[in-house]
């Protein structure tokens, strides 16, 4: 699948594809020879850590009689919230795949509510029943249904932090470990070191991450990028997955793979043109580098909005890329000092932590083991049915009582009025 084609699709067409893909990926994993060997082994574990969106794989914890920890590659979302009973105020928390800012207009809030309801319906009426079938198929000894397996989560390790994502409500079992993958910068390979050191006007780094490949860019978009880069005085470092880039300008250096964290740490790096993946966004903030985001799909549009809201960069729609638009935004980011200032300020927020993300993750994993699953962190919301959680039963009763009282009062007033008006009518008739 060409992921660049996904950029044209909206939430309501992407969701069914995404859901089906996750079910298939989950089954392929469980059906793998090595995983089957593990399931049928006599191994013992103190804890089981599973990536979110793999509900059937969470049964590994039940199977091995160990506490379950979820790891979310993104921040809080409706996928995670329902597993731990976390609230999601739809007025300012947008659905991940929509890509709205937290400052939503009325129409966006309306779409956000609709998307949330559709997603919940898709998961409860399709996704979870399918995942439940996988549990019964691959874990014959597990008698629990999908909800028992899901709601047995001890904690969730979230790849997020207030310096990266907007502040949202968290229940006690949700732990921020955003930046877990970050390491101190290392010395660059000789050719890259010389390229960046000798860039007297600075370097712009362009990468679309590991899933999106620059070589699959539509020809017209690739040519726009080449034309734009050729007009810049800055050097450009481009992650290009082939040996040759046709029409490459002299100021552009290509490489199939680049040590991104070490590149972003170089003092001559002036701007990162990125797809807006969360790891790249985290590294931007960690190193304090302004960014131009070209989001394609997944959570990238949401991350791009965060970059804009934080004042550390700009975003451009992939379909709207032109030479004029690119040059305008690049020059704005390079010449306006506020973007660099905000990026450095965000970096300070990120680094100002009591302990590192890795040490935080280690502490909480060991905490769950020490306290045998830490059931005291589990919120009571998980014991409620959906209509109880949303107080629909209370709303129905209050509405019914209010309607009944209003009706009775109306009838009483009506009767009083009819009694008061009757003598007056009789008097008029006699006169």
> Is the same domain home to 94 and 232?
no
Structure tokens at 213: 């490949």
Question: Shortest CA distance to 264 belongs to which of 192, 214, 315?
Answer: 192
Question: Shortest CA distance to 49 belongs to which of 306, 369, 333, 278?
Answer: 369
Could you tell me if residue 428 is inside a domain? no
pTM for the predicted model, two decimal places: 0.87
Mean pLDDT of 169-185: 94
CA–CA distance, 33 with 31 (Å, rounded to integer): 6
Structure tokens at 106: 């009325």
User: Taking 80 as the threshold, does the pLDDT of residue 249 lie above it?
Assistant: yes
User: Taking 60 as the threshold, does the pLDDT of residue 425 lie above it?
Assistant: no
Could you tell me if residue 430 is inside a domain? no
> Is the same domain home to 376 and 395?
no
Convert the pLDDT of each residue in 363-409 to its tens digit.
999 999 999 999 999 999 999 888 898 899 999 999 999 999 999 99
The pLDDT, as a whole number, for residue 424 is 53
User: Taking 60 as the threshold, does the pLDDT of residue 426 lie above it?
Assistant: no
Could you tell me if residue 338 is inside a domain? yes
H/E run at residue 49: strand 48-51
**Contact in structure between 173 and 151 (CB atoms under 8 Å):** no
- Domain of residue 105, CATH code: 3.40.50
- Mean pLDDT over each residue of the chain, to the nearest integer: 91
Convert the pLDDT of each residue in 263-277 to its tens digit.
999 999 999 999 999
- Domain of residue 281, CATH code: 3.40.50.2000
> Is the same domain home to 157 and 139?
yes
The pLDDT, as a whole number, for residue 109 is 94
The pLDDT, as a whole number, for residue 297 is 82
Could you tell me if residue 95 is inside a domain? yes
H/E run at residue 122: helix 106-122
**Contact in structure between 164 and 75 (CB atoms under 8 Å):** yes
Could you tell me if residue 408 is inside a domain? yes
> Is the same domain home to 20 and 141?
yes
Counting the structural domains of the chain, the total is 3
**Contact in structure between 207 and 276 (CB atoms under 8 Å):** no
Phi, psi of 235 (to 5 degrees): -80, 155
Q: Examine the fold and report which residue of 296, 327, 351 is the final residue of a domain before the chain moves on.
A: 351
User: Taking 60 as the threshold, does the pLDDT of residue 428 lie above it?
Assistant: no
Lowest-confidence pick of 153-157, 185-189, 370-374: 185-189
Could you tell me if residue 244 is inside a domain? yes
> Is the same domain home to 255 and 365?
no
User: Taking 70 as the threshold, does the pLDDT of residue 423 lie above it?
Assistant: no
Could you tell me if residue 141 is inside a domain? yes
> Is the same domain home to 138 and 203?
no
The pLDDT, as a whole number, for residue 87 is 93
pLDDT band at 1 (very low <50, low <70, confident <90, very high): low
Angle (nearest 5°) at CA 289 between 286 and 292: 120
Convert the pLDDT of each residue in 84-120 to its tens digit.
999 999 999 999 888 888 889 999 999 999 999 999 9
Could you tell me if residue 185 is inside a domain? no
> Is the same domain home to 50 and 175?
yes
User: Taking 70 as the threshold, does the pLDDT of residue 430 lie above it?
Assistant: no
> Is the same domain home to 134 and 269?
no
Convert the pLDDT of each residue in 22-37 to its tens digit.
999 999 999 999 999 9
Convert the pLDDT of each residue in 339-357 to its tens digit.
999 999 999 999 999 999 9
Strand partners, 48: 68
Question: Shortest CA distance to 226 belongs to which of 206, 211, 200?
Answer: 206
> Is the same domain home to 37 and 161?
yes
Give SS3 for 194.
helix
Convert the pLDDT of each residue in 37-91 to its tens digit.
999 999 999 999 999 888 999 999 999 999 999 999 988 898 899 899 999 999 9
Convert the pLDDT of each residue in 190-225 to its tens digit.
999 999 999 999 999 999 988 888 888 889 999 999
> Is the same domain home to 199 and 292?
yes
The pLDDT, as a whole number, for residue 144 is 84
> Is the same domain home to 99 and 152?
yes
Domain extent for 326: 190-351
The pLDDT, as a whole number, for residue 386 is 82
> Is the same domain home to 38 and 76?
yes
The pLDDT, as a whole number, for residue 229 is 95
């Amino acid at each position: 699948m060409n992921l660049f084609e996904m950029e044209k699709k909206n939430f309501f067409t992407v969701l069914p594809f995404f859901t089906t893909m996750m079910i298939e990926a989950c089954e392929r994993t469980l059906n793998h020879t090595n995983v089957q060997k593990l399931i049928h082994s006599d191994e013992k574990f103190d804890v089981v850590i599973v990536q979110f969106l793999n509900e059937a794989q969470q049964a590994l914890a039940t199977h091995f009689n160990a506490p379950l920890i979820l790891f979310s590659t993104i921040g809080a979302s409706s996928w995670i919230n329902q597993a731990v009973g976390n609230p999601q105020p739809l007025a300012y928390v947008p659905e991940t795949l929509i890509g709205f800012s937290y400052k939503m207009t009325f129409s966006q809030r309306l779409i956000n509510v609709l998307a949330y309801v559709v997603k919940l319906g898709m998961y409860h009426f399709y996704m979870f029943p399918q995942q439940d079938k996988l549990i019964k198929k691959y874990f014959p000894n597990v008698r629990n249904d999908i909800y028992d397996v899901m709601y047995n989560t001890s904690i969730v390790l979230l790849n997020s932090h207030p310096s990266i994502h907007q502040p949202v409500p968290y229940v006690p079992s949700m732990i921020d470990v955003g930046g877990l993958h970050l390491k101190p910068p290392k010395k660059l390979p000789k050719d890259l070191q010389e390229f960046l050191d000798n860039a007297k006007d600075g370097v712009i780094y362009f990468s679309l991450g590991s899933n999106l490949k620059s070589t699959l860019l539509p020809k017209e978009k690739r040519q726009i990028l080449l034309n734009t880069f050729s007009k810049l005085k800055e050097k450009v470092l481009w992650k290009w997955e082939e040996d040759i880039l046709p029409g490459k300008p002299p100021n552009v250096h290509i490489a199939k793979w680049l040590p991104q964290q070490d590149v972003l740490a170089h003092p001559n790096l002036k701007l990162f043109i990125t797809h807006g993946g969360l790891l790249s966004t985290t590294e931007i903030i960690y190193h304090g580098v302004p960014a131009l985001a070209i989001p394609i799909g997944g959570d990238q549009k949401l991350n791009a909005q965060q970059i804009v809201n934080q004042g550390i960069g700009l975003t451009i729609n992939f379909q709207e890329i032109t030479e004029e638009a690119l040059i305008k935004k690049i020059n704005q980011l390079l010449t306006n000092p506020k973007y660099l200032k905000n990026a450095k300020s965000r970096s300070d927020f990120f680094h100002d932590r009591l302990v590192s993300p890795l040490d935080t993750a280690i502490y909480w994993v060991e905490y769950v083991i020490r306290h045998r699953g830490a059931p005291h962190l589990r919120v009571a919301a998980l014991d409620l049915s959906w209509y109880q959680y949303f107080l629909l039963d209370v709303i129905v009763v209050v509405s019914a009582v209010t309607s009944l009282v209003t009706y009775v009062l109306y009838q009483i007033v009506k009767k009083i009025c009819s009694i008061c008006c009757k003598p007056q009518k009789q008097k008029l008739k006699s006169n």
